[in-house]
């Protein structure tokens, strides 16, 4: 017998309608379904919850939606009957905050202003902990100037660039918020981003993105909020060393020593010198799988036509997105951080290395679309140690720097030359966007290790079978993409502290516990919750 329960909110899933159907039509389908399942459905209020596209049948592209129905009073329903129709009770997830009873000896220090550090510091500030948050890089405006100067002139600031500074690497990206993490608090993260200026559409789209232009505003707003709540925000402040002394950590920076009651290490995946500092103090680090590859560029119009057919360009569809993978070989190859209507950007943080990444604005209206095509690298491929993984990345970056001419121009190749014999074919129909065209045609197979180059070639051919024209001879490859994720993991306990260093909290993507803006923000949030459950705020003197 079906169990009868009550709830005040329901999620109605898998509602399908033509891609250009108005929202009212989707809500009508949801209301009709609920009337069949619940006699008091007239008391419910309906709103669109999530929306994605199913373009597998191009003449009949569908929007696939879920709708949230809420009631002012509990509504009775039959659980099994509803479940069979894709309807379930829904609970809004909120962080469960518990404050410890032992006061911190000093305010907490958050090292790094990427998503993990920002969300950890924000929650700590909102609960009265007055955190100090530092980053080795600049604020958003100064970072934008530094990255623009680097792209145009090849003048690199090793402390303020696409990797380091307010907002972390995600600030100069597509601002993609897709995550495979199934934690219900992911919606809370999105809601907080909206409260700081992100568009409300990210709450609905199954593949939400913010865009670098809006994300910069959001980052500034979060940091302003932390300040307003009594926290400190310090730029150009690099963690150089630390000493654990009783109930505090003395964090040595290039701008003086900070006394902290605990330290959130949200250092990002490119803080290689900081990894060295941690190992010198006996923190346990282990190598982990990561990925390297190249950026592929196509004309946005070509990708739109390949995925949407005759409907390409329709305003209800927007620019086409894709996520591709092939795991049939000895190692995986996949696309990462696809940027519709975006550009390939210089993302180096060390002198003498070329690194590429992708970035797009909220409108996604650039001429090209790009994505990383990356190959999995296992620790055993590169020597099996923490330092070996970092040196493998660094070696590829230096090889790309040399191949580009030694002035931070990037090496590029057409897909035709990469898959066949190298002829030095110059870009034609599709123009590379890296650095406004600061590129040099190069045989990328001479830069990449054979296992990477061969797997990339197989992946391009595989993806061409899924998206016609993906391996078009005039598509452009730009190298190298080496910072897709951290090559190391900083070990931590269930309490989220580093073993034998219980005032140090490794967090986020750089520590090996996240892979993107949303998952990193979520990890920062949970680290703050764990820290607060243990400690009360420091007593003000």
Pick the CATH number of 4-89 from 3.30.70, 2.60.120, 3.40.50, 3.30.1490: 3.30.70
Fold of 102-286+490-536: FAD/NAD(P)-binding domain (3.50.50)
Distance CA 28, CA 15 (A): 10
- For 63-113, the pLDDT digits (tens) are 999 999 998 888 888 888 888 899 999 988 899 999 999 999 999 999 999
Mean pLDDT estimate for the chain = 95
Q: Which has the closest alpha carbon to 510: 85, 82, 106, 114?
A: 114
Pairing between β-strand 290-299 and β-strand 368-377 as defined by DSSP bridges: antiparallel
Q: Are 316 and 444 in contact (CB under 8 A)?
A: no
Strands (E), 246-289: 248-253, 256-260, 263-265, 285-287
Strands (E), 444-522: 476-481, 488-490, 504-506
Distance CA 411, CA 301 (A): 25
Pairing between β-strand 109-111 and β-strand 132-134 as defined by DSSP bridges: parallel
pLDDT at 76: 81
At 1, the pLDDT band (50, 70, 90 cuts) reads very low
- For 347-382, the pLDDT digits (tens) are 999 999 999 999 999 999 999 999 999 999 999 999
In this predicted model, which residue has the larger pLDDT, 380 or 5?
Answer: 380
pLDDT above 60 (res 2): no
pTM: 0.95
pLDDT at 386: 94
pLDDT above 70 (res 231): yes
- For 523-539, the pLDDT digits (tens) are 999 999 999 999 999 99
In Å, the largest CA–CA distance within the chain is: 74
Q: Which has the closest alpha carbon to 208: 465, 541, 533, 521?
A: 521
The count of other CB atoms within 10 Å of the CB of residue 71 is: 17
In this predicted model, which residue has the larger pLDDT, 188 or 78?
Answer: 188
Average pLDDT over residues 305-334: 94
Q: Are 38 and 119 in contact (CB under 8 A)?
A: no
pLDDT above 80 (res 6): no
The count of other CB atoms within 10 Å of the CB of residue 529 is: 20
Q: Are 332 and 361 in contact (CB under 8 A)?
A: no
Domain boundaries, the chain: 4-89, 102-286+490-536, 290-481
Cis-peptide into 480, omega within 30 deg: yes
At 41, the pLDDT band (50, 70, 90 cuts) reads low
At 37, the pLDDT band (50, 70, 90 cuts) reads confident
Q: Which has the closest alpha carbon to 527: 509, 406, 329, 156?
A: 509
Percent of the chain with pLDDT over 90: 89
pLDDT above 50 (res 428): yes
The H-or-E segment that residue 396 falls in is helix 386-403
């Amino acid at each position: 017998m079906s169990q009868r329960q009550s709830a005040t909110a329901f999620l109605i899933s898998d509602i399908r309608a033509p891609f250009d159907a108005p929202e009212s039509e989707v809500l009508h389908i949801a209301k009709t379904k609920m009337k069949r399942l619940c006699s008091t459905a007239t008391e419910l209020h309906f709103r669109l919850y999530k929306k994605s596209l199913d373009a597998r049948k191009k003449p009949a592209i569908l929007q696939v939606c879920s709708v949230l129905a809420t009631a002012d009073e509990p509504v009775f329903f039959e659980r099994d009957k509803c479940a069979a129709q894709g309807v379930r009770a829904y609970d809004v997830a909120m962080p469960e905050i518990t404050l410890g009873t032992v006061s911190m000896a000093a305010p907490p220090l958050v090292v790094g202003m990427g998503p993990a550090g920002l969300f950890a510091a924000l929650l700590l500030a909102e609960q009265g902990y007055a955190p100090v948050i530092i980053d080795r890089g600049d604020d958003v405006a100064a970072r934008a100037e530094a990255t623009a100067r680097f792209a145009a002139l090849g003048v690199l600031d090793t402390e303020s660039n696409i990797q380091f500074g307010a907002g972390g690497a995600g600030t100069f990206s597509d601002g993609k918020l897709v995550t495979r993490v199934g934690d219900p608090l992911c919606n809370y993260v999105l809601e907080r981003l909206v409260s700081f200026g992100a568009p409300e559409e990210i709450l609905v789209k199954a593949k939400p993105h913010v865009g670098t232009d809006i994300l910069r505003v959001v980052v500034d707003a979060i940091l302003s909020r932390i300040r307003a709540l009594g926290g400190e925000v310090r730029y150009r402040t690099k963690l150089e060393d630390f000493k654990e002394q009783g109930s505090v950590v003395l964090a040595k920076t290039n701008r003086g020593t900070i006394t902290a009651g605990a330290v959130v290490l949200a250092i990002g995946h490119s803080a290689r010198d900081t990894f060295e500092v941690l190992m010198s103090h006996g923190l346990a680090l282990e190598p982990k799988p990561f990925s390297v590859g190249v950026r592929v560029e196509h004309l946005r119009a070509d990708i739109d036509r390949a995925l949407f057919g005759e409907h390409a360009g329709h305003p209800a569809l927007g620019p086409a997105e894709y996520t591709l993978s092939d795991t049939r070989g000895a190692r995986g190859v996949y696309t990462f951080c696809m940027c519709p209507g975006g550009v390939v950007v210089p993302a180096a943080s060390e002198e003498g290395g070329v690194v590429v990444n992708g970035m797009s604005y909220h409108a996604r209206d650039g001429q090209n679309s790009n994505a990383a095509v990356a190959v999995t690298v296992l620790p055993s491929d590169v020597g099996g140690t923490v330092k070996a993984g970092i040196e493998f990345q660094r070696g590829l970056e230096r090889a790309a720097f040399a191949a580009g001419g030694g002035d931070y121009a990037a090496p590029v190749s057409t897909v035709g030359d990469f898959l066949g014999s190298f002829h030095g074919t110059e870009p034609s129909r599709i123009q590379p966007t890296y650095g406004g065209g600061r590129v040099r045609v190069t045989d990328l197979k001479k830069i990449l290790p054979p296992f990477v180059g061969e797997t990339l070639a197989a992946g391009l051919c595989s993806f061409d079978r899924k998206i016609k024209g993906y391996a078009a001879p005039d598509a452009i490859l730009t190298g190298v993409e080496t910072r897709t994720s951290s090559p190391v993991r900083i070990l931590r306990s269930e309490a989220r502290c580093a073993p034998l260093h219980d005032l140090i909290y490794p967090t986020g993507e750089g520590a090996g516990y996240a892979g993107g803006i949303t998952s990193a923000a979520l990890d920062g949030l949970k680290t703050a919750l764990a820290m607060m459950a243990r400690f009360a705020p420091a007593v003000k003197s």
